Structure 1
Amino acid sequence: MVNPQPQDLQAMRREMSRMFMHFKFGMDEVLTKINILREEFAHVHDYNPIESVSSRIKSPDSVLEKIQRKGCSYSHEDLSTHVRDIAGIRVTCSFVKDIYRIRDLLLAQRDITLVDERDYVSNPKSNGYSSLHLIVTVPVFLSTGPKDVMVEVQIRTIAMDFWASLEHKIYYKYHGKVPMQLDAELKLAADIATRLDYKMQELKEQVDSLALEDPEAPSRKDEIQREAIDRLLRFALESGKDSASKSADYEAEPSRSQALAQDQQNAR
């Protein structure tokens, strides 16, 4: 793709500003659906799976840089094909099972169409990143008629969101060139967060089961929760010790290599 001239860039930015309105409208439509679900759970059900909701629109400059890198045009069709995360929504929930429950509730709505799904919860990325990514389209009714707009929805637990936020800050500080040791530590932290997520899910299911089986469970609710928290703390301590052990092994590896190199040199 030939680099555009300054006047072409101005025209591109004007056109993109118009299209960005469409992406914002689509994002607002999906946000409304998610917030309706959130409010309904808060008032009608005993448990609300949605902890928090946030949204963002990519800046025009970042999108321009991306389409130039990919060698595509700034038409709505190319943007929808090559830059599918212009409008993004992030939903944070408490437990892993909530991720799939929210997904099912959202996709059950008649005017939401699933374009692509990437499950990094069941299959985390190599660096430990976990989240469920959905690319959906929703119709936006403009003065010129309805238009399908693409929106990315990320659904993750609090632990997944905490890890991803800190990992992003660390990579930003190092401009993407994180030292190998720190990279390994981040992966260990992601493993601990994943184990914590599934342990929390297990504890929740045990508390729910006890509440159903024990007729005195309502009066023992605080006691049951304290027992669950005690078990969680023991689990966290064990995970921390395990992480420290693995980290020590990782740090010791260069020393063993150096010792071997020294032995070889002495043998000469």
Structure 2
Amino acid sequence: MTEEEYVVFIQPYEDALKNIRVRVEVLNDDYRRKYQNYPIHHLQDRIKKKESIEQKLVRRGYGSDVEAARDCLTDISGIRVICYFVRDIYAVVSLLKKQTDIVVIKECDYISNPKPNGYRSYHIVFGVPVYHTDGMEYYPVEIQLRTMSMDLWASMEHRICYKGSQKLEEKAAQDFKEYAEYLKNMEEEMEGYL
């Protein structure tokens, strides 16, 4: 895909991302007004770079053109929602699912069912409506919801294991699984104070 094709291709994904970010911010503000509390600590969002899209498509055995990206990837635009506690994650997911103009494309609950390495997070891909001058089309936006401790763990694991050598990954794998369990227990204890 050329740079020009990428710029045109990515625009509606950016629009869908803005749409879902505003929805999440509005829910957090409304929650704060109603309950004098808020579930979300902060948000991070991103659009996949052209090179990252092409590399992922090639890794999966697809062509690296715009059509393959549109048909095969659901994580071109993404937002990470960092919450305080697990119950906050499920509250945000429930509130988003009640919105009738977005559709669930796929979801994975790695909180109830952590990955073997200890990774915990809630992933949900929504089809988000984007209105153009000539109509409406849904675009996927992946939302990853984590607590602050889950985000710390995932960031450190990614930095040390994913970007490190195979030897380092094998050495650290068991330790990271234990760290995940420790953080989970700590989080549950802290949530008990509320």
Q: Over residues 156-213 of structure 1, what are the superposed CA-to-partner deviations in whole Å (9 max), with x where a residue is unaligned?
A: 1111011111111112551455243322111110110111222222332xxxxxxxxx
Q: Distance in 1 between matches of 2:20 and 2:134?
A: 21
Is 1:143 the counterpart of 2:133 in the alignment? yes
Name the counterpart of 1:17.
7
Q: Distance in 2 between matches of 1:102 and 1:50?
A: 8
Identical amino acids, percent of aligned pairs: 33
Is 1:95 the counterpart of 2:81 in the alignment? no
Larger Rg computed on CA atoms: 1
Q: Over residues 133-175 of structure 1, what are the superposed CA-to-partner deviations in whole Å (9 max), with x where a residue is unaligned?
A: 0011011011232111100001111110111111111125514
Q: Over residues 98-148 of structure 1, what are the superposed CA-to-partner deviations in whole Å (9 max), with x where a residue is unaligned?
A: 111100101111111001110000000011000000011011011232111
Q: Distance in 1 between matches of 2:70 and 2:176?
A: 33
Is 1:85 the counterpart of 2:75 in the alignment? yes
Contact 1:16 1:60 in 2 (8 A): yes
Name the counterpart of 2:157.
167
Structure number with the higher strand fraction is 2
Q: Distance in 1 between matches of 2:121 and 2:163?
A: 23
Is 1:124 the counterpart of 2:114 in the alignment? yes
Contact 1:171 1:177 in 2 (8 A): no
Q: Distance in 2 between matches of 1:66 and 1:144?
A: 31
RMSD of Structure 2 on Structure 1 (CA): 1.7
Q: Runs of 4+ in structure 1 displaced over 4 angstroms?
A: none
Is 1:187 the counterpart of 2:174 in the alignment? no
Contact 2:160 2:169 in 1 (8 A): no
What one-letter code is carried by the residue in structure 1 that aligns with 2:59?
R
**Alpha-carbon spacing, 1:117–1:183, altered in 2? closer, same or farther (3 Å):** same
Taking structure 2 as the reference length, the TM-score comes to 0.92
Which consecutive residues of structure 1, in runs of 5 or more, have no partner in the other structure?
1-8, 205-268
Q: Distance in 2 between matches of 1:179 and 1:18?
A: 38
Name the counterpart of 1:113.
103
Which consecutive residues of structure 2, in runs of 5 or more, have no partner in the other structure?
none
Structure with bigger RCO (C-alpha 8 Å, 6+ apart): 2
What one-letter code is carried by the residue in structure 1 that aligns with 2:116?
S
Name the counterpart of 1:55.
45
Contact 1:121 1:131 in 2 (8 A): yes
Contact 2:126 2:141 in 1 (8 A): yes
Taking structure 1 as the reference length, the TM-score comes to 0.68
Is 1:68 the counterpart of 2:58 in the alignment? yes
Alignment length (residue pairs): 193
Name the counterpart of 1:252.
none
